Amino acid sequence: MSLIDLANPTRFLALSARLLPWLAGATIILLAIGLYQSALAPDDYQQGATVKIMFIHVPNAWLSMFVWGVMSIASLGTLVWRHPLADVAAKAAAPIGASFTFLALLTGSLWGRPMWGTYWEWDARLTSVLILFLMYLGLMALWRAVDDPSRAARAAAVLTLVGAINLPIIKFSVDWWNTLHQPASVMRMGGSTLDKSFLIPLLVMAIAFTLLFVTLHLAAMRNEILRRRVRSLQMMQASRVAFSSELSTGSREENASKGAA
Amino acid sequence: MMSLGPYAPFIVTSYAAAALVVVILIGWIVLDYRSQTGRLRELERSGVTRRSARSSTDRP
């Protein structure tokens, strides 16, 4: 099945109905394995048991950027290829991405207090992620502010693509500026600096959270397609009511003019 | 029994917050699905149907 085939919302609904139970099952299994491995991971020689926060902080931080990346590709789909499901995908991803970003900020803050001695510091990494979170909220507000989905889609797509500039800033902020946040330790030139006892649970949790995103995104896209169907049926119903009231007014006027004659 | 040391509240709060946010997300999506399918059913019951649905039912 190609991307063009999925341009048909009905076909997409049928495919998502088939995929969702499998994706949900795989997510639950991987999350259970990841949580079990995280619980068994040894304490870090410097950070002690707080290293366990890494297993949920890092996947959420990765996903906060990944989801914006997905929305950026979907925005290109809206503006360039005019794919009918592109804006559905972008709109459905925003609240999920905002949730992951919120969790990255919250868990990072809870990790920072015992390790850095502060919940918050206006350093480049933390500030750029906070900006990403605010952009998610702005995008969600924009979708709600414009009634017509196609007009909202174009405005949101432009905003998403402009906001994508923040992604490399977040990624390289720890290299470009002197930050309290540690530099990259997994995705870096020369390989990961993490020991296998931390790296394996972290990767399992990252895959599990990514699967969670895919599952939730598919379900949210399905909801958005249904919402648009409801909207078009309501508009159809409203135009029918207007048409029938026009007809009855017209026939009343005709009768009145016949009576007068 | 796993020992989380003196920073246990920070670790437990992190995991609990992640669980809570994920549960809220799932709950919101499930309720939204029920609401949209309910509204669709109501509209179809009142006789408003999509063209594609009409053409498939009109077929002999």
The one-digit pLDDT tens for each residue of chain B (60 residues) are 577 888 899 999 999 999 999 999 999 999 999 999 999 999 888 887 766 655 554 444
Task: List b or e across B6-29, with b for residues whose CB sees 16 or more CB atoms inside 10 angstroms.
Answer: ebeebbeebbebbeebbeebeebb
Window 19-48 of A: residues touching B by CB (8 A cutoff) are 39, 43, 48
- Nearest-CA residue of chain B relative to A39? B2
Q: How far is A53 from chain B (nearest CA, A)?
A: 6
What is the C-alpha to C-alpha distance for residues B10 and B4, in angstroms, rounded to an integer?
A: 10
Are A49 and B5 an interchain contact pair (Cβ–Cβ within 8 Å)? Answer: yes
In angstroms, how far is CA A14 from the centroid of its own chain? Answer: 22
pLDDT in tens, chain A (261 residues): 566 666 788 888 999 999 999 999 999 999 999 999 999 998 888 888 899 999 999 999 999 999 999 999 999 999 998 888 999 999 999 999 999 999 999 999 999 999 989 999 998 999 999 999 999 999 999 999 988 888 899 999 999 999 999 999 999 988 888 888 877 777 776 777 778 888 999 999 999 999 999 999 999 999 999 999 998 888 888 887 777 777 777 777 777 776 665
Outline where chain B has alpha helix (H).
8-45, 51-58
Q: Rounded mean pLDDT of chain B?
A: 84
What is the C-alpha to C-alpha distance for residues B57 and B60, in angstroms, rounded to an integer?
A: 8
Domain residue ranges in chain A:
2-179+193-231
In this complex, which of A50, A222, A227 lies closest to B10 when CB atoms are compared? A50
Distances (CA, A) of A218 to A12, A43, A198, B2, B18: 9, 37, 30, 36, 20
What is the C-alpha to C-alpha distance for residues B24 and B4, in angstroms, rounded to an integer?
A: 27
What local confidence, expressed as pLDDT, does residue A195 receive?
A: 83
Q: Is the dihedral of CA A35, A37, A40, A44 positive or negative?
A: negative
Are B48 and A236 an interchain contact pair (Cβ–Cβ within 8 Å)? Answer: yes
Name every chain B residue with its beta carbon within 8 A of the beta carbon of A219: 29, 33
For B5: left if phi > 0, alpha if psi spans -120 to 50, otherwise beta; the answer is left
- Nearest-CA residue of chain A relative to B27? A216
Q: Is the dihedral of CA A60, A26, A29, A204 positive or negative?
A: negative
Outline where A117-195 has alpha helix (H).
124-145, 149-163, 166-176
Quote the radius of gyration of chain B (alpha carbons, Å): 23
Do A112 and A119 touch, CB atoms closer than 8 A? yes
What local confidence, expressed as pLDDT, does residue B60 receive?
A: 40
Q: Is B55 on the interface with A (CB under 8 A)?
A: no
Are A226 and B33 an interchain contact pair (Cβ–Cβ within 8 Å)? Answer: yes
Q: Indicate whether this model's pTM tops 0.90.
A: no
In this complex, which of B4, B43, B46 lies closest to A230 when CB atoms are compared? B43
What local confidence, expressed as pLDDT, does residue B59 receive?
A: 45
Are B10 and A234 an interchain contact pair (Cβ–Cβ within 8 Å)? Answer: no
